[in-house]
Structure 1
Amino acid sequence: MTPLPGHGAVEHGRASAIGWRLALPVLRERRRSLAILLFWSLLSVTPVVLSGQLVAVAVDRGFLAGNVVIGLVSLGGYGLAMVLGTWSKRQAVRPMSRIVEALRDHLVRSLVRGSLHNAVRDDRAGELGTVARITSQTEKVRQLSSGLLIPMSSVALTLVAATIGMFSLVPVVSLIILAISAVSGVLIACISRVWKQRYERALRAAERLSERAGEVLGGLRDVIANDGSKRAESDLDEALRANAGALTGVANIGGIRVGVIGLTGRVPLVMLFVLAPWLLSSGQLSAGALLGAATYLMSGLEPALRTLINTVGNVGLELITVLNRLARYSVAPELPRGGALSVDRYDLVLERVTFRYGPHAHPVLRAASLRIRAGEHIAVLGTSGIGKSTMASLLAGLESPQEGVVRLGGIELDRLRTSWLRSVIALVPQQAYVFAGTVRENLSYLAPEAADTELDEAVLVIGLEELVAEHGGYDGEINPDALTEGQRQLVTLARVYLSPAHVIILDEATCHLDPAVEERVERAFARRSGTLVVIAHRISSALRADRVLLLDNKGLHAGTHGMLLRSSPTYANLVGHWYPSGVGDFPRNAPASSASEAGTIRFSKLS
């Protein structure tokens, strides 16, 4: 497939590899969910394993032998196996959903990050087709993967069980059926290759249509002013026709595939009944064995072949095609791979750090130097968009500076083992993430071995008692959509409080909490062992900190509240925004040192 120009495309072979790599991190992180899914999927094929043999026993040793009890017990056992299989399929839905949702979130992050980095790197505006890819193609991956995981994990065992069962009852017919299935499989593989090419063409056509429509709508005023309506209409019509033609091509080849798949599933059963009179008359097959073989075909082999070809082959092919397509746009500069080191001290140091988001972008930080002592409580302030979150990402090792270094315990971050660094530094963003599951699972996500006493402490100091009680305790199920933004932030904060992290960075992670609750949370983290860095959205956070870091157009400034009041007009303006001059007392929660350093400046209470 020819790469589109100007899209940071990679050659097809590499894109295929990256397509799978997009999903691998999620699969590695969700190994436990995968194991649980496999267990329930394997248990769900119990009816297939037992079906033919139980039917054969019920007919030959039961009803035809005049023993109704054996017949009924055998059929009853088959019914119980079906109940067990259905229940197992239901149990497999939860681990499947956790894997699928994690995959979707990972793809969105990867695609957004890749598109932004490519746009900045090439000094151009973001692509209008990016929105289509994020919304439609990532949602397509979500739908396809949810329809693929459970069938893929059980279809192999179903085929093996049904084939062995068939061989045990009708070996000759089984060989003929396998030969027919092999020929059909080769034919379907050839058709699928053509289908994949047409589906890729349809994806490209849809992206071009989205981009063309965005360009026309975005420049509508210029189109009208320059009397270009007919040209714009012609361009859109051309893109629409190309998109419709590509979709028609996919539908046509898809219809052929459906026909071949249907024949592959039906021919074995027809072959069995065609040969049945000869098999019965020659004594090679009993009536019970015939019904058992038909059962294996109808409830095992035929559905499994249809699932393998139609679901795994069709949906799987579509899924990898979309992943490969997304991989072309999500390629971004990789984060430092990390070394093999760890440290036993946790002071953070920035040494002459310069960071910009592209070669032509204005530096967010320029030659910034800073030392944060282990156990120190720091507040970071600055106007919106000045780079506070960028500095948080640098301190956490999520971004790397173009110049200078960031060190933890005297060692550069990119020399530290990545998994260890992620467990030591916890960055809590403004957008809180709560997943569907129990209260315990949400709180102990970063500390799986946490005891109830540790959960109790976190709930108490963060202020989650009411939420836990509303859900009936730690084993109650959480519906993330039913929680307020403030409740989500509290759950996330309690999760991080329980974590083993030695450095906590709160990037406006309390913005949806009222001032009293925010103070309670910050004081809880300040008492907790370790370093606390608060990207503040209220000046009251600065009054509780040991030191304040101020970011402005002139760079990075550090000092106490009182020092910055005297030396920085920007800081004085920020303080004036929250505490206008006038009648009132200095905030009661301010440290005494700050009050004495503030001199004669008077402040009103926080509204």
Structure 2
Amino acid sequence: MTAAPAVRLLRGHLRGRGRALRRLAAWSAVEGLPPFASGLLLARAIDDGFLPGRPATGLAWLAALAALQALGALGTRRIYPWLAETVEPLRDSLVGAVVAGAVHRTIDRAGDPLAAGAGAGVSQVTEQAEAVRALLGTALRNMRQMLAAGIAAMLGLALLAPLPALVVGGSVALALAVFAGALGVQVRRYRVVVRHAERIGETAAVIVQGVRDVVACAAEPRAARTVGAAVDAQAEALRSFARSRLVRIPVLVLGVHLPLLALLALAPRLVEQDGLTTGQVAGAVGYLVTGLRPAIVLLVDAGGTLLLSLVVVLGRLAEVCAEPAATPGAAARLDVTSYGIEAEHVTFAYSPDAEPVLSDLSLHVPEGTHLAVVGPSGTGKSTLANVLTGLAPPQGGRVTLGKVPLADLDQTRLRSAVTLIPQESYVFAGTLRENLVYLRPDATAAEVDEAVHAVGLEETVQRLGGHDARIPPGGGTLSQGERQLVTLARAYLSAAPVTILDEATCHLHPAAEARAETALAERGGTLIVIAHRISSAERAQQVLLLDDPAPLLGTHDSLLADSPLYAELVGHWRT
């Protein structure tokens, strides 16, 4: 693994922040003036002041150094606003790219039985995006300062005492070569650590989602061994990475200890035979102790881990953010001109060994139909919603939209044609208007008002203070019911000809639920409602009852007359 993808990703997400980076570099140069001048001024203070018996002159040179220190402190203070402007927007930018890339890959992994763990992988990678922001901030704040001090010290040493600078520079170059030579091994081993951490999350997610099957099959020991194996693999990867960190010992010897010992040992010869003054030797020692030594130590300790983590995590994010590789036939993805939905002998299970949630299910939903799906808990209602939208590809059979299999459809077209509103309402930080027009950014103000009125959101809009009211992260004061109304208005406003509500009204009282569902039904297009109350089934044109051994499709009245289970559900709901 090379650092090139990481560098390209970082450069792409920092594009547009050139002004902040230029200011950061300029104030870093100001901050680096004291380390650069410290040895030179110390030498003048000793040679021109204290050794000849002119303490006032020596103090004057030291006062000049103090003034530079004050200027450097000003540079440090002015760095932080530009540092924040450079780093803080990076997280949102990366998370957006990560989620987009992960969604594309989830769609691309259709039929993969391990796709159930993809959400955990997305969570892990989103955490990595936050880690990049923190790592880059730390690198720019601490390592920039110390490495700038090290470079300034070497430049100052070259001006002060060229011969010792040549010797020290050679030893430091050798130390950096050793460090760079071992960096590739460390990158590869740390990358394995990161990938094992993701696998732990994905493996655990698959087991948690299938926990009922695990318990039913008495497979707890096997599940524990599966997760334990992933944990043990990461532990071994961490030990292997720790062994690669032993390279710090020769780097510190060559870059810090050997140059300092050599300079101290050769000091008499440098003064007596090579014409260096006592002040120059002292200044050279000062450069090594106060500038070069902290920079090398930081490089192999914090820098070795920090920069390594940054390169590896950025490289991993670059993989996730990349566009999925084109698959054979991808260019031939089809479009649709009609929107009838058909499920043909569909079978779906959450793992190869699990009992199917849907078994040999066939269903035809003509375009424009209002269908309610009912059934006892655990019969696969929400699973059916995911299958009909292509989010959970079946292991057997197929689902078509307008006679075209979902797998053959252009995925962008599919997502714009079918809107799924889940039970957990997603309301993001931004204005209320931005939340409402999320699925249709070109909606006019009149169309937004129509959607708000249709689903009964006016009271919430008035309480918040209008469409331009800002919603904080987490939804702020919006209740669960209000959040569902926001997502229902969003669905009403979208241009999707198929809308699927997966218990998307469960936090609304019956009258509000009736108003929202009626509005979506009268809007036109196909409406499929995973029913939360029997009233949803009573309003629908068709009702699908999911039940073993075979699902039943009919009207509310026909099912009430022909199905004891449906009659029992109706009585239970009304009670």
Shorter-chain TM band: 0.5 to 0.7
Instruction: Map residues 471-490 of structure 1 onto 2, 5 A cutoff.
Output: 473-480=468-475, 484-490=479-485
Correspondence 1:370 to 2:370: no
SS of residue paired to 2:32: helix
- Alignment match, 1:82: 79
Correspondence 1:354 to 2:338: no
Task: Decide whether aligned partners of structure 1 residues 57 and 350 sit closer, same or farther in structure 2, where only a CA change above 3 A counts.
Answer: same
Partner Cα distance (1:484, 1:502) in 2: 29
Correspondence 1:536 to 2:531: yes
- Alignment match, 1:230: none
Partner Cα distance (1:31, 1:453) in 2: 42
Give how far 1:258 is off.
6.3
Instruction: Map residues 390-429 of structure 1 onto 2, 5 A cutoff.
Output: 390-429=383-422
Give how far 1:489 is off.
2.8
Partner Cα distance (2:393, 2:252) in 1: 55
Residue type of the alignment partner of 1:376: T
Residue type of the alignment partner of 1:399: A
Task: Give the counterpart of 1:512 among 492, 507, 510.
Answer: 507
Give how far 1:536 is off.
0.8
Partner Cα distance (2:246, 2:537) in 1: 68
Correspondence 1:432 to 2:425: yes
- 2:341–2:364 contact (8 Å) kept in structure 1: yes
Task: Decide whether aligned partners of structure 1 residues 451 and 203 sit closer, same or farther in structure 2, where only a CA change above 3 A counts.
Answer: closer
Task: Decide whether aligned partners of structure 1 residues 312 and 38 sit closer, same or farther in structure 2, where only a CA change above 3 A counts.
Answer: farther
Correspondence 1:311 to 2:306: yes
Instruction: Map residues 11-410 of structure 1 onto 2, 5 A cutoff.
Output: 47-48=27-28, 51-52=31-32, 78-79=75-76, 81-88=78-85, 91-92=88-89, 95=92, 98=95, 117=113, 145-152=129-136, 162=148, 176=170, 177-187=172-182, 189-190=184-185, 249=239, 253=243, 256=246, 308-314=303-309, 339-343=332-336, 345-350=337-342, 352-357=344-349, 358=352, 361-362=355-356, 364-366=358-360, 368-373=362-367, 375-410=368-403
Partner Cα distance (1:42, 1:53) in 2: 17
- Alignment match, 1:582: none
Task: Decide whether aligned partners of structure 1 residues 416 and 103 sit closer, same or farther in structure 2, where only a CA change above 3 A counts.
Answer: closer
Partner Cα distance (1:280, 1:546) in 2: 102
Give how far 1:369 is off.
3.6
- 2:373–2:381 contact (8 Å) kept in structure 1: yes
Give how far 1:566 is off.
3.5
- 2:189–2:240 contact (8 Å) kept in structure 1: no
Task: Give the counterpart of 2:439 among 437, 446, 467.
Answer: 446
Per-residue CA deviation, residues 395-454 of structure 1 (Å, 9 max, x unaligned), is 212233455443222322222111221222122222333445554554444345556655
Per-residue CA deviation, residues 465-499 of structure 1 (Å, 9 max, x unaligned), is 55556666433423348654334433433443444
RMSD, aligned α-carbons:
6.6
Partner Cα distance (2:296, 2:153) in 1: 9
Correspondence 1:522 to 2:522: no
Task: Decide whether aligned partners of structure 1 residues 421 and 170 sit closer, same or farther in structure 2, where only a CA change above 3 A counts.
Answer: farther
- Alignment match, 1:577: 572
The more displaced of 517-526 and 416-425 is 517-526
- 1:549–1:558 contact (8 Å) kept in structure 2: yes
Per-residue CA deviation, residues 564-597 of structure 1 (Å, 9 max, x unaligned), is 3344443333333334xxxxxxxxxxxxxxxxxx
Partner Cα distance (2:570, 2:535) in 1: 9
- 2:499–2:527 contact (8 Å) kept in structure 1: yes
Task: Decide whether aligned partners of structure 1 residues 562 and 192 sit closer, same or farther in structure 2, where only a CA change above 3 A counts.
Answer: closer
TM-score (norm 1): 0.60
Task: Decide whether aligned partners of structure 1 residues 419 and 196 sit closer, same or farther in structure 2, where only a CA change above 3 A counts.
Answer: closer
- Alignment match, 2:48: none
TM-score (norm 2): 0.63
- Alignment match, 1:227: none
Give how far 1:169 is off.
7.0
Task: Decide whether aligned partners of structure 1 residues 245 and 487 sit closer, same or farther in structure 2, where only a CA change above 3 A counts.
Answer: closer
Which of 1 and 2 has greater Rg?
A: 2
Aligned length: 516
SS of residue paired to 1:509: coil
Partner Cα distance (1:409, 1:196) in 2: 45
Task: Decide whether aligned partners of structure 1 residues 140 and 364 sit closer, same or farther in structure 2, where only a CA change above 3 A counts.
Answer: closer
- Alignment match, 1:231: none
Give how far 1:256 is off.
3.7
Unaligned regions of 5+ residues in structure 1, if any?
A: 1-15, 120-125, 222-234, 325-333, 580-606
Task: Decide whether aligned partners of structure 1 residues 362 and 338 sit closer, same or farther in structure 2, where only a CA change above 3 A counts.
Answer: farther
Task: Decide whether aligned partners of structure 1 residues 72 and 36 sit closer, same or farther in structure 2, where only a CA change above 3 A counts.
Answer: same
Task: Decide whether aligned partners of structure 1 residues 43 and 523 sit closer, same or farther in structure 2, where only a CA change above 3 A counts.
Answer: farther
- 1:261–1:310 contact (8 Å) kept in structure 2: no
Give how far 1:206 is off.
13
The more displaced of 362-371 and 385-394 is 362-371
Partner Cα distance (1:73, 1:80) in 2: 11
Give how far 1:557 is off.
3.6
Per-residue CA deviation, residues 358-398 of structure 1 (Å, 9 max, x unaligned), is 4774572425141321x332222222222322322232122
Give how far 1:520 is off.
2.4
The more displaced of 454-463 and 378-387 is 454-463
Residue type of the alignment partner of 1:400: P
The more displaced of 536-545 and 292-301 is 292-301
Task: Decide whether aligned partners of structure 1 residues 151 and 408 sit closer, same or farther in structure 2, where only a CA change above 3 A counts.
Answer: same
SS of residue paired to 2:505: coil
Give how far 1:535 is off.
1.0
- 1:351–1:368 contact (8 Å) kept in structure 2: yes
Task: Decide whether aligned partners of structure 1 residues 323 and 57 sit closer, same or farther in structure 2, where only a CA change above 3 A counts.
Answer: closer
SS of residue paired to 1:522: helix
SS of residue paired to 1:492: helix
The more displaced of 565-574 and 392-401 is 565-574
Partner Cα distance (2:471, 2:262) in 1: 52
Partner Cα distance (2:14, 2:84) in 1: 18
Partner Cα distance (2:275, 2:302) in 1: 31
- Percentage identity across aligned positions? 30
Partner Cα distance (1:98, 1:203) in 2: 16
- 1:104–1:138 contact (8 Å) kept in structure 2: no
- 2:342–2:399 contact (8 Å) kept in structure 1: yes
Partner Cα distance (1:555, 1:34) in 2: 56
- 2:252–2:296 contact (8 Å) kept in structure 1: no
The more displaced of 547-556 and 451-460 is 451-460
- 2:341–2:400 contact (8 Å) kept in structure 1: yes
The more displaced of 73-82 and 386-395 is 73-82
- 2:426–2:487 contact (8 Å) kept in structure 1: yes
